[in-house]
Structure 1
Amino acid sequence: MTAICLVGIGKIAVDQHVPAINGSDAWELAATVSRAGTVDGVPAYTDFEQMLAERPDVNVISLCLPPVPRYGYAAKAIAAGRHVMLEKPPGATLAEVHALADMAKAAGVTLYTTWHSRMAEGVAPAKAWLADKEITAAHISWKEDVRRWHPGQNWVFEPGGMGVFDPGSNALSIITEILPMPIHLRSAELFYPSNCDTPIAAQMQWTQNVTGDFDWRQEGPQSWDITVETTQATLNLHDGGARLVIDGVEAVVGPRAEYPALYARMAELVEQGQSEVDLSPMLHVADALTLGKRVMLEPFVL
């Protein structure tokens, strides 16, 4: 088993990363680093540099911090010769992730930019089914309640927090994976509460008749859906890619195991001495922030 350190013990780490690591024969959760969070029975640090110095046995670092501080931690880990796994989105900017990729290559360590929604059970079969189809239209509807998923996490509305594009990047990671042709953004409207630096909602239009509607104000049932229309039939991905429906018939795709699949892939990359850095979802975020028309809203209190 390979010793791994989990940095940033918040909701996503507790809900997803810890169970995925503990359920794998490839990994041992040997340490954590967090200002406040801990995992029972695991040595806990509050200082990352101290952990790196005291734990040379920890070969892999999984970073679950918000995007803005992630670069500094990743750079220190790479400089210390550790392999690095980045929670999505992999950084606050495209340039800093490119820089990390160059550092990892020079140091001979693995860098893995994870996109957990691509590991949803319906995504791979959706990609395979669409591979030879003529696409006529596609639409993303990604709507959830920020208060439910990011309680008290004001960083999501601060510079670098990406706002609704934090969950929206999940949708973008799927659409860029399953479509058999490239798309690029043509226009967008971004909706900003007057007290926030990042958008709470977005409406977008891409080439190839692809549209998207992201919203962080959805109460009640949450919506993570992608519809792709072809000349043969319509494909629907529901529940963030966990359910696949083609021409009204639901496919059998197996149980949800997104984060276990990420850690299995990380184990493969480390063993093979390879990196996997895909920034295509972030390209669409950057384009939206460049092209988007700003629409101002009333203040929003998280």
Structure 2
Amino acid sequence: MIRIAVIGVGQIARQQHLPALENDPDFTIVAAVSPVPVALDVPVFATLAELRQCDLMIDAVALCTPPALRYGLAHEALASGWHVLLEKPPTVTRSQAGSLSRLADDRGLTLFAAWHSVYAASIPVLREILPALSIERVTIAWKENAEKWHPGADWLWRDGALGVFDAGINALSILCSLSPEVILYDTALLSFHGDQRAPSQVRLAMRGSETGLPISAEFDWRHEAASEIWEIVWYAGNGETVILSEGGARLHRGSREIVLAEAREYAGVYRHFAALIREGRSSLDLRALDLVTDALAFGTRQNPQRYLRTN
């Protein structure tokens, strides 16, 4: 079994990573790192340095910390001889990812960018359906309330944070994984709330590099409706639509719903991580991150009162 430590024990780690690992026959959780005291059935250390100094045998770590911390922690973990799983986004810049990739290669270790949404139940079906259709445009709506999913997490809005892109990048990871061509950034309209330093609402325009396929996205992390909207719609030339909803757990072709298997995204994440470790490979897909960093670098910034909301 792969002996793994979970670094960062926030809400997502408790709700997704820990249960997935506990049910995965390839892994056994041997430790955790959390600066905030948490009660687990394994030793919990306050820092990664403390974990490194203990006498536990560790093969891999899952980094579930805020994105700004991941590069330093991943570098430290790889230097310790551990395989590394990076929650999304894997790093905040491409250069950081390149540095980690070189270190992992030099040490013969696995580095894995875990885009969990590409393991949604609808993705294998979409890979079969979409190539047979003449897609003319794509729209994305990814809207939720940040306080519901990350209560009290002020790191979401600090300098260097991704803001709403922390959620919207899930949609972009799905889009990129299904696209036969490179997706290019065109324009972005970024809206900021109060004195927060990261955007809470975004309108994003993209296109396919070869076909010019128009792609539009609306991301909202101040969504006030009771239900989240996690939807991607592909419009075919014959008037047919293919609609991914609930983040990939449901799929419609026209008015007909396609019956899917139970959605177990993080089970797929760790199944892939184990396979990469066994095969001695890494997987560091940066396409979705590139679109986000382009939008943050070149997008137009405006005040929230001028943002036209379309819930």
TM-score, scaled to structure 1: 0.96
Instruction: Tell me which residue corresponds to 1:245.
Output: 252
Q: Give the secondary-structure state (helix, strand or coil) at the position aligned to 1:213.
A: strand
Q: Give the secondary-structure state (helix, strand or coil) at the position aligned to 1:78.
A: helix
Corresponding letter in the other structure for 1:256: A
* Alpha-carbon distance in structure 2 between the residues aligned to 1:113 and 1:92: 12
* Alpha-carbon distance in structure 1 between the residues aligned to 2:37 and 2:258: 39
* Alpha-carbon distance in structure 2 between the residues aligned to 1:144 and 1:249: 26
Corresponding letter in the other structure for 1:230: A
Q: Give the secondary-structure state (helix, strand or coil) at the position aligned to 1:184.
A: strand
Q: CA deviation at 1:296?
A: 1.4
Corresponding letter in the other structure for 2:233: T
Q: Give 1:4-19 correspondences, 5 Å limit.
A: 4-19=4-19
Which deviates further from its counterpart, 46-55 or 116-125? Answer: 46-55
Q: CA deviation at 1:94?
A: 1.6
Q: Give the secondary-structure state (helix, strand or coil) at the position aligned to 1:221.
A: coil
Q: Give 1:134-149 correspondences, 5 Å limit.
A: 134-149=134-149
Q: CA deviation at 1:127?
A: 2.2
Which deviates further from its counterpart, 73-82 or 227-236? Answer: 227-236
Aligned-residue sequence identity (percent) comes to 34
Instruction: Tell me which residue corresponds to 1:129.
Output: 129
Instruction: Tell me which residue corresponds to 1:290.
Output: 297
Q: Give 1:268-279 correspondences, 5 Å limit.
A: 268-279=275-286
Instruction: Tell me which residue corresponds to 1:195.
Output: 195
Q: CA deviation at 1:39?
A: 4.5
The C-alpha deviation readout for 1:103-128, integer Å capped at 9, x for no partner, is: 10111100000100111100121122
Corresponding letter in the other structure for 2:148: R
* Alpha-carbon distance in structure 2 between the residues aligned to 1:284 and 1:92: 12
Corresponding letter in the other structure for 1:213: E
* Alpha-carbon distance in structure 1 between the residues aligned to 2:205 and 2:100: 31
Consecutive unaligned residues in structure 1, runs of 5 or more:
none
Q: Give 1:215-234 correspondences, 5 Å limit.
A: 215-219=220-224, 220-232=226-238, 233-234=240-241
Instruction: Tell me which residue corresponds to 1:185.
Output: 185
Q: Is the 8 A contact 1:202 1:214 kept in 2?
A: yes
Q: Give the secondary-structure state (helix, strand or coil) at the position aligned to 1:3.
A: strand
Q: Give 1:14-29 correspondences, 5 Å limit.
A: 14-29=14-29
Alignment CA distance shift 1:55-1:227 (3 Å):
farther
Is 1:67 aligned to residue 67 of structure 2? yes
* Alpha-carbon distance in structure 2 between the residues aligned to 1:180 and 1:241: 19
Which deviates further from its counterpart, 228-237 or 114-123? Answer: 228-237
Consecutive unaligned residues in structure 2, runs of 5 or more:
208-212, 306-311
Q: CA deviation at 1:56?
A: 5.1
* Alpha-carbon distance in structure 2 between the residues aligned to 1:203 and 1:83: 36
Q: Give 1:208-219 correspondences, 5 Å limit.
A: 208-219=213-224
The C-alpha deviation readout for 1:85-144, integer Å capped at 9, x for no partner, is: 000011121210111011101111000001001111001211221123221010000000
Is 1:264 aligned to residue 271 of structure 2? yes
* Alpha-carbon distance in structure 1 between the residues aligned to 2:181 and 2:100: 28
The C-alpha deviation readout for 1:208-239, integer Å capped at 9, x for no partner, is: 11100000111211100000011242100000
Instruction: Tell me which residue corresponds to 1:254.
Output: 261
Instruction: Tell me which residue corresponds to 2:309.
Output: none
Which deviates further from its counterpart, 136-145 or 54-63? Answer: 54-63
Runs ≥4 in structure 1, deviation > 6 angstroms?
none
Corresponding letter in the other structure for 1:10: G
The C-alpha deviation readout for 1:231-278, integer Å capped at 9, x for no partner, is: 242100000011111122111110010001100100000000000000
* Alpha-carbon distance in structure 2 between the residues aligned to 1:10 and 1:217: 21
* Alpha-carbon distance in structure 1 between the residues aligned to 2:37 and 2:5: 13
